[in-house]
Amino acid sequence: MARRFSRFGAGALAATLAAAGLTLSSTSVASATDWGTCLAGPDDTQSAFTRASRVSGVPEDVLLAVGYLGGRWSHHGGQPSVSGGYGVMHLTDAPVAPVSAPEKGDTNQGLPSRAGTLQVARQQTGLSAEQLRTDPVANICGAAAVLASYQPGTTTKAPAGWSKAVARYAGTADRQEALHYAGLVFDVLRAGATETTDLGDTVRLASNPSAALDTSAVADDRLLQPGVQELECPATIECDVVEAQYRSTGPAVTQYVNYDLADREKDLSIDYLVVHNTECTYDVCTKLIKGEAEPNRFVSWHYTVRSNDGHVDQHVATRNVAAHAGNWYLNMHSVGVEHEGKAGEPGTWYTEALYRSSAELVTYLAAQKGIELDRAHIVGHEEFMSSNYKWDPGPYWDWEHYMALLGAPIRPDRRGPSQVFTVKPGFTDNARSLDGCFATETQPGRPCPSFGTNYVDVRTAPSDSAPLAWGSSDLVSDRDARAVAGHKFYVMGRQGDWLKVWWDGSAAWIKSPKGDQANVVPSQGEVVEPVRPSVPVYARAYPEASAYAGTPVPYQGQPTVTAPDGSVLTLQPGQRYVIADRTVPTDYYYAKSFDNSLPGDKTVVTGTEEYVQVWVGHRFGYVKAADVRVLSGR
């Protein structure tokens, strides 16, 4: 039987994509030339399977078995099956088992739907949906791209190594259904098959009696869920679920709000609890988290604590990554808790009810997640470099009281002389009159009433009249010269009541009179000292470039901390900074789509580069272990 199909060569495919304003992304399974190669060649079905296997890396027998299960390798004239599948490979426009509500997270019911395999094939290859439906060869190539995207980095030719991809191809959000489908595919692999298709050619799949489904790999392919399926709060506080919205905001799978699905119980450690303040009233913030105030704004957090009564709402399950810190690494490894209040309105919002409920929640979460109860891991939003470099919870958050409520008070933890000190200025007795309070979008701030604060000044010289470090001011929002309660530093020298420290790469001074007026207490601790000039301080402990090899995840770089003057913050030999954590994970979690369908989605890239978390000023940073030597803080 003579057959003619519309066929793209490599150049034609690239030209067509360019004319449409499209390109194949760097994370696609193959380049435009590769898919042109898949499309070009003999039209017979067996040859198409062979080319698709070569281009995609998916074993030919696996492709054949999946195709056989769809419709015994026949094309069916481009007409859909009763379940909406097209062509040799039964590519579907929609998932097999979509959820009833399009906006995931509006209820506590159900699992997320997967994208239809035809749509995934379109995204992976750049071919049109119409071509994937009507052209048998394009249909086979598209399905190969889908399978390869479902199990990225797999190079084995053993069918068992593709168990997870085969199960995902079922298109169902029910794991048992996916396992059943994969079992049927492996039945075909073991038995083999020969069939004459409706296009008039004969296709053969040799039997492979040893082909065995790896059920553990399928079970490991967890279908990530939005919503709060189980309330995560201690029984000692009043806690409800107010779900953050989770929905698509546009036609592309990358357009969605407002958090990322993950399985942090399995894949990522939770190491930090980030303290925020809402900058809005409880009612307004509740509308924001549900998408009623700004529907398409990508912002979320795990919990909100109400001021007047300490009531807690959970918005995002802790297994998922909320968008609260403006730093993806910190988001990956933290739970974000918002506290109703405004950082520039002293004494107005932080009630004792709020402090106590928050402390009970955080103590519970720390026990559940293994978070250390210290100021290296119970942190403020302002204490990490971020894209939305905010200053909450600000100078009026009583860290000393809060840490005491957590059962981890800020106090001396060393007897005898020590060059490592922890900031402990008191709060009520550390009252200041700052500037810039009560600012709005339309009105400038005004002088703040005298109120307790949580920090001591950092100055450029040992004098009360010396300028603050980095040209800072007494604005309530200016955090660049503030050593906050619980932070640690290494004393390089003393001059009267003044302690010399290294602060953001420069020498600086902190006043701490002896006796009852002391602002610091002696502490245990190790310090780092750079072993070469200009050691960069990193904002995220991301893996090295080589760690991404063999994965569909592009190299994410190793972003650095910016000094207050805009330069890259570096440490120089002879400078010493206190270690906050020597065992931080080096990893990156890839999550770019609403339905987890893009190549690499849900992949955790783990590096071998070792980092150390250190206090470098009012913020934390990460330095590479190879760039520093670790010394005793004595």
Per-residue model confidence as pLDDT tens digits over 241-282: 999 999 989 888 899 999 999 999 889 999 999 999 999 999
Residue scoring higher pLDDT (224 or 230): 230
> pLDDT band at residue 222, thresholds of 50, 70 and 90?
low
Q: Where are the alpha helices (DSSP H) in 238-339?
A: 282-289, 328-332
**Residue 27 confidence (pLDDT):** 33
**Residue 96 confidence (pLDDT):** 60
Mean pLDDT, residues 623-628: 98
Is pLDDT of 433 > 80? yes
**Residue 617 confidence (pLDDT):** 95
Q: 370 forms bridges with which residues in the sheet?
A: none
- Between 91-95, 126-130, 462-466, the lowest mean confidence (pLDDT) is in 91-95
Which SS3 state, helix, strand or coil, does residue 475 take?
Answer: strand
**Residue 173 confidence (pLDDT):** 64
Mean pLDDT, residues 572-599: 93
> pLDDT band at residue 18, thresholds of 50, 70 and 90?
very low
Strand positions, DSSP E, 36-192: 85-86, 91-92
What is the Cβ-side half-sphere exposure of residue 60, based on CA atoms within 13 angstroms?
15
Is pLDDT of 114 > 70? no
Is pLDDT of 19 > 60? no
**Other residues' Cβ atoms within 10 Å of the Cβ of residue 20:** 10
CA triplet 124, 125, 131: central angle to 5 degrees? Answer: 125
Is pLDDT of 23 > 90? no
pLDDT > 70 in the chain, percent: 90
Classified by CATH at the fold level, domain 225-409 comes out as: Lysozyme-like (3.40.80)
- Note the CATH number of domain 10-220: 1.10.530
**Residue 95 confidence (pLDDT):** 66
Mean pLDDT, residues 461-468: 98
What are residue 27's phi and psi, to 5 degrees? -95, 5
Distance, CA of 336 to CA of 313 (rounded, Å): 12
Q: 91 with 141: CB under 8 angstroms?
A: no
Q: 495 forms bridges with which residues in the sheet?
A: 498
| For the chain, domain boundaries | 10-220, 225-409, 422-523, 525-634
**Residue 149 confidence (pLDDT):** 84
Give the 3-state secondary structure of 551-592. CCCCCCCCCECECCCCCECEECCCCCEEEEECCCCCEEECCC
Q: Summarize pLDDT for 33-59 with one digit per residue, the tens.
A: 377 889 998 989 999 999 999 999 999
**Residue 582 confidence (pLDDT):** 96
Distance, CA of 15 to CA of 129 (rounded, Å): 17
Q: 96 with 118: CB under 8 angstroms?
A: no
Q: 630 forms bridges with which residues in the sheet?
A: 528
Distance, CA of 187 to CA of 178 (rounded, Å): 14
| 197, two tokens | 């298709």
Helix (H) or strand (E) holding 630: strand 628-632
Strand positions, DSSP E, 150-293: 193-196, 202-205, 239-241, 247-248, 256-257, 259-260, 272-277
Distance, CA of 71 to CA of 135 (rounded, Å): 15
Residue scoring higher pLDDT (632 or 28): 632
Mean pLDDT, residues 285-301: 91
**Other residues' Cβ atoms within 10 Å of the Cβ of residue 567:** 10
**Residue 387 confidence (pLDDT):** 79
